């Protein structure tokens, strides 16, 4: 079996540390692993297996002799260092939004469009977390009965913003329960015991960038430029696990039972759907797991060709690190990674 020299850029962040966990849990064939971050985090040591590895500052020289570079350091870092890494010969899998809508950069969910990987020119983009779980759940249905329209409302955990947001939620929850005033820092308003219908910046069309990512990325991944999509993205006081309420209009009617049968056999999907015993997906149960969970599948009472469903996944795993590692696995399995001699 071939083994690979792997680099993680942004190794000290939440997704970077999840990269380390996933690579180990899935026994990714690594010859070596190299950890990089900003100058502020350089010098820290992280455990990989039973070894302590020092985190180094990212530089153009970081990618010499690297086969696969996993990026989770934000768009600015990715725009600067990803082309350098690719020019050095590494396959870059980037978790930021920097290259997702570039025409020559594949945007990949392995369960959906793994064939797109082979068209890479050194960089592959990992989709947005909320897009990934929605498309994993909808694409198996789309293959059987083409989807014409999607309306989605998301309930997104604070871990999508990072460790500081998780700390802020913890602090604010305590202060509210103690009857004290809350001063927000990470978000524009209090997140403790509150909901914020604002994720990323507002665009001129009234949508947020997060909402528009779901529209554009879904069309690109599914190769459906004309599919109608509307999204409302909401930050909720949950630590880990994004949830989504999705209304889908199909070309032809589809029963809930047929949808359950299709999804029960779909890769990466687990159906939890028995209202009689209150069985349905919840972020608390999804946290730390790899599947996309689907439940509350029912006929859309407002449309004869519609279904409604509830979709939940761990945003740090399938929504980020796991999907990227699965891309690397698929690229390696198919021989689409240039292995150093």
Answer yes or no: do 161 and 55 share one domain: no
340 domain-assigned: no
Answer yes or no: do 102 and 150 share one domain: no
CATH number at residue 95: 3.40.50.720
Active-site position among 34, 120, 142, 242 = 242
Question: Looking at residue 1, what is its pLDDT?
Answer: 76
Task: Quote the CA–CA distance of 118 and 93 in Å, as a whole number.
Answer: 13
**Sequence-ordered list of residues with C-beta below 8 angstroms from that of 219, at least 6 positions apart, any chain:** 225, 226, 227, 229
Answer yes or no: do 209 and 141 share one domain: yes
Nearest by Cα to 1 from 21, 30, 22, 32: 30
Answer yes or no: do 181 and 109 share one domain: no
**Sequence-ordered list of residues with C-beta below 8 angstroms from that of 52, at least 6 positions apart, any chain:** 45, 46
User: What domain range includes position 50?
Assistant: 4-127+320-333
Owner of token pair 């001699």:
341
Report strand pairing: 51-54 vs 45-48.
antiparallel
Owner of token pair 């010499």:
64
215 domain-assigned: yes
Whether 129 sits among the annotated catalytic residues: the reply is yes
Task: Tally the domains of the chain.
Answer: 2
339 domain-assigned: no
pLDDT tens across the length of the chain (341 residues): 799 999 999 999 999 999 999 999 999 999 999 999 999 999 999 999 989 999 999 999 999 999 999 999 999 999 999 999 999 999 999 999 999 999 999 999 999 999 999 999 999 999 999 999 999 999 999 999 999 999 999 999 999 999 999 999 999 999 999 999 999 999 999 999 999 999 999 999 999 999 999 999 999 999 999 999 999 999 999 999 999 999 999 999 999 999 999 999 999 999 999 999 999 999 999 999 999 999 999 999 999 999 999 999 999 999 999 999 999 999 999 999 986 65
pTM above 0.85, yes or no: yes
Question: Looking at residue 257, what is its pLDDT?
Answer: 98
Whether 233 sits among the annotated catalytic residues: the reply is no
Answer yes or no: do 172 and 273 share one domain: yes
Answer yes or no: do 96 and 164 share one domain: no
Active-site position among 34, 129, 142, 233 = 129
Task: Quote the CA–CA distance of 152 and 213 in Å, as a whole number.
Answer: 12
């Amino acid at each position: 079996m071939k083994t690979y020299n792997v680099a993680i850029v942004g190794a000290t962040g939440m997704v970077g540390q999840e990269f380390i966990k996933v690579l180990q849990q899935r026994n990714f064939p690594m010859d070596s692993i190299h950890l990089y971050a900003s100058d502020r985090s350089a010098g820290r040591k992280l455990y990989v297996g039973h070894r302590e590895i020092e985190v180094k500052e990212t530089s153009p020289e970081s990618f010499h002799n690297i086969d696969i570079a996993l990026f989770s350091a934000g768009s600015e870092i990715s725009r600067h260092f990803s082309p350098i890494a690719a020019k050095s010969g590494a396959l870059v899998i980037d978790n930021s939004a920097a290259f997702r809508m570039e025409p020559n950069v594949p945007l990949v969910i392995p369960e959906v469009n793994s064939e797109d990987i082979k068209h890479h020119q050194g960089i592959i983009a990992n989709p947005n977390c909320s897009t990934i779980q929605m498309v994993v759940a909808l694409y198996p249905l789309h293959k059987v009965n083409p989807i014409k329209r999607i309306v989605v409302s998301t309930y997104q955990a604070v871990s999508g913003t990072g460790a500081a947001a998780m700390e802020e939620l913890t602090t604010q929850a305590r202060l509210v329960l103690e009857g004290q005033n809350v001063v927000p820092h990470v978000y524009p308003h209090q997140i403790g015991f509150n909901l914020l219908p604002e994720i990323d910046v507002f665009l001129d069309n009234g949508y947020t960038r997060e909402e528009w990512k779901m529209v554009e990325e879904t069309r690109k991944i599914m190769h459906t430029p004309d599919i109608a999509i509307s999204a409302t993205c909401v930050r909720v006081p949950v630590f880990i696990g994004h949830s989504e309420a999705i209304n889908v209009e199909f070309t032809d009617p589809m029963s809930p039972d047929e949808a359950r049968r299709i999804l029960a056999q779909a890769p990466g999907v687990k159906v939890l759907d028995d209202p009689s015993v209150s069985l349905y997906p919840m972020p608390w149960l999804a946290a730390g797991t790899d599947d996309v969970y689907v439940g509350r599948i029912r006929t859309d009472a407002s449309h004869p060709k519609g279904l409604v469903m509830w979709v939940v996944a761990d945003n740090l795993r399938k929504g980020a690190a796991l999907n990227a590692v699965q891309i690397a696995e698929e690229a390696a399995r198919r021989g689409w990674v240039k292995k150093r001699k």
